Amino acid sequence: MRQVAILGIGQTAIGEHWDQSLRDIGGQAALAALQDAGLEQVQALYVGNMLSPLVSGQNQLGAFFGDWIGLWQQEAVKVEAACGSGAAAFRAALMAVASGEVDSALALGVEKMTDKAGHDVTAALATAADGDYEVEQGVSFVGLNALIMQRYMHEFGWKHGDFAPFSINAHANAVHNPFARLREKISLEKFERSAMIATPINLLDASPVGDGAAAAVLVPADRVNTLPGRPRVTVAASASATDTIAVHSRKDPLVLAAAHASARRCYEMAGVTPDDIDVLELHDAFSIMSALSLEACGFAERGQGVRLGLDEAITIKGRIPVCTRGGLKARGHPVGATGMYQIVEVAQQLRCECDGTQVDGAAIGMAQNIGGSGASVVTHILAAN
Amino acid sequence: MRQVAILGIGQTAIGEHWDQSLRDIGGQAALAALQDAGLEQVQALYVGNMLSPLVSGQNQLGAFFGDWIGLWQQEAVKVEAACGSGAAAFRAALMAVASGEVDSALALGVEKMTDKAGHDVTAALATAADGDYEVEQGVSFVGLNALIMQRYMHEFGWKHGDFAPFSINAHANAVHNPFARLREKISLEKFERSAMIATPINLLDASPVGDGAAAAVLVPADRVNTLPGRPRVTVAASASATDTIAVHSRKDPLVLAAAHASARRCYEMAGVTPDDIDVLELHDAFSIMSALSLEACGFAERGQGVRLGLDEAITIKGRIPVCTRGGLKARGHPVGATGMYQIVEVAQQLRCECDGTQVDGAAIGMAQNIGGSGASVVTHILAAN
Q: What is d(CA A181, CA A207) in angstroms, rounded to the nearest whole number?
A: 10
State the pLDDT confidence band at B117, using cuts at 50, 70 and 90: low
Interface of B with A in 83-142 (CB under 8 A): 84, 88, 92, 95-96, 98-101, 123-124, 126-128, 130-132, 135
Strand pairing report for A4-11 and A212-220: antiparallel
Which neighbouring-strand residues pair with A83?
A81
What's the whole-number mean pLDDT along residues A150-171? 98
Q: Report the share of chain A in percent with pLDDT over 70.
A: 98
Contacts of A64 in chain B (CB under 8 A): 130, 245
Task: Please give the helix or strand (H or E) that residue B88 lies within, else none.
Answer: helix B85-98
pLDDT given for residue A120 in this prediction: 86
Could you count the other beta carbons within 10 Å of the beta carbon of residue A121? 18
pLDDT given for residue B35 in this prediction: 97
The 3-state DSSP class for residue B74 equals: coil
Composition of chain B by helix, strand, coil, percent to 5: 40, 20, 40
The 3-state DSSP class for residue A234 equals: strand
pLDDT given for residue B379 in this prediction: 98
The catalytic residue among A260, A333, A354, A380 is A333
Q: Do A375 and A82 form a contact (C-beta atoms < 8 A)?
A: yes
Task: Please give the helix or strand (H or E) that residue A348 lies within, else none.
Answer: helix A338-350
pLDDT at B226 exceeding the cut of 80: no
What's the whole-number mean pLDDT along residues A217-232? 83
Q: Do A216 and A107 form a contact (C-beta atoms < 8 A)?
A: yes
What's the whole-number mean pLDDT along residues B113-138? 89
Residue B230 CB-density burial (10 A; 0-12 exposed, 13-18 middle, 19+ buried): middle
pLDDT tens digit sequence for B229-258: 667 899 999 999 999 999 999 999 999 999
Q: What is d(CA B297, CA B237) in angstroms, rounded to the nearest whole number?
A: 14
Could you count the other beta carbons within 10 Å of the beta carbon of residue B24? 15
Q: Is the dihedral of CA B144, B148, B154, B160 positive or negative?
A: negative
Which neighbouring-strand residues pair with A219?
A5
Which neighbouring-strand residues pair with B360?
none
pLDDT at B211 exceeding the cut of 80: yes
pLDDT tens digit sequence for B85-115: 999 999 999 999 999 999 999 999 999 999 8
Q: What is d(CA B305, CA B180) in angstroms, rounded to the nearest whole number?
A: 25
Q: What is d(CA B6, CA B343) in angstroms, rounded to the nearest whole number?
A: 10
Q: Do B127 and A80 touch (CB under 8 A)?
A: no
pLDDT tens digit sequence for B2-24: 999 999 999 999 999 999 999 99
What's the whole-number mean pLDDT along residues A190-203? 97
- Give chain B's mean pLDDT: 96
By annotation, the residues of B acting in catalysis are 83, 333
Contacts of A288 (CB under 8 A, 6+ apart): A145, A148, A149, A152, A163, A201, A205
pLDDT tens digit sequence for A74-109: 999 999 999 999 999 999 999 999 999 999 999 999
Vertex A212: Cα angle to A209 and A213 (nearest 5): 135
Longest dimension (CA), chain B: 58
Q: Do B218 and B107 form a contact (C-beta atoms < 8 A)?
A: yes
pLDDT tens digit sequence for A12-39: 999 999 999 999 999 999 999 999 999 9
pLDDT at B33 exceeding the cut of 90: yes
Which of A221-225, A272-276, B163-167, B302-306 is the least confident region?
A221-225
Q: Do B78 and A73 touch (CB under 8 A)?
A: no
Q: Which of A57, A98, A372 sits opposite B60 (nearest CB)?
A: A372
Residue A333 designated active-site: yes
Q: Do B63 and A23 touch (CB under 8 A)?
A: no
Residue B375 CB-density burial (10 A; 0-12 exposed, 13-18 middle, 19+ buried): buried
Q: What is d(CA A145, CA B255) in angstroms, rounded to the nearest whole number?
A: 51
pLDDT at A225 exceeding the cut of 80: no
What's the whole-number mean pLDDT along residues A169-186? 98
Interface of B with A in 259-288 (CB under 8 A): 261
pLDDT given for residue B106 in this prediction: 98
Q: Do A232 and A224 form a contact (C-beta atoms < 8 A)?
A: yes
Q: Do A376 and B242 touch (CB under 8 A)?
A: no
Q: Do A67 and B126 touch (CB under 8 A)?
A: no
Q: Which residue from A243, A248, A333 is spatially nearest to A290, judged by alpha carbons?
A: A333
pLDDT at A302 exceeding the cut of 90: yes
Contacts of B242 in chain A (CB under 8 A): 62-63, 66-67, 71-76
Q: Which of A82, A88, A98 sits opposite B99 (nearest CB)?
A: A98
For the residues of B241-293, what is the DSSP string, one character each?
Answer: EE--SSGGGSS-TT--HHHHHHHHHHHHHHT--GGG-SEEE---SBHHHHHHH
Reported residue count of chain A is: 385
pLDDT at A69 exceeding the cut of 90: yes
Strand pairing report for B364-371 and B279-281: parallel
pLDDT given for residue B315 in this prediction: 98
pLDDT given for residue A226 in this prediction: 65
Task: Please give the helix or strand (H or E) that residue B238 lies within, else none.
Answer: strand B233-242
pLDDT given for residue A119 in this prediction: 67
pLDDT given for residue A253 in this prediction: 97
Could you count the other beta carbons within 10 Å of the beta carbon of residue B344? 30
Q: What is d(CA B50, CA A61) in angstroms, rounded to the nearest whole number?
A: 11
Q: Do B11 and B179 form a contact (C-beta atoms < 8 A)?
A: yes
pLDDT at B179 exceeding the cut of 70: yes
What's the whole-number mean pLDDT along residues B202-221? 97
Report helix angle A257-270 to A287-296, nearest 10: 50
Q: Do A56 and B131 touch (CB under 8 A)?
A: yes
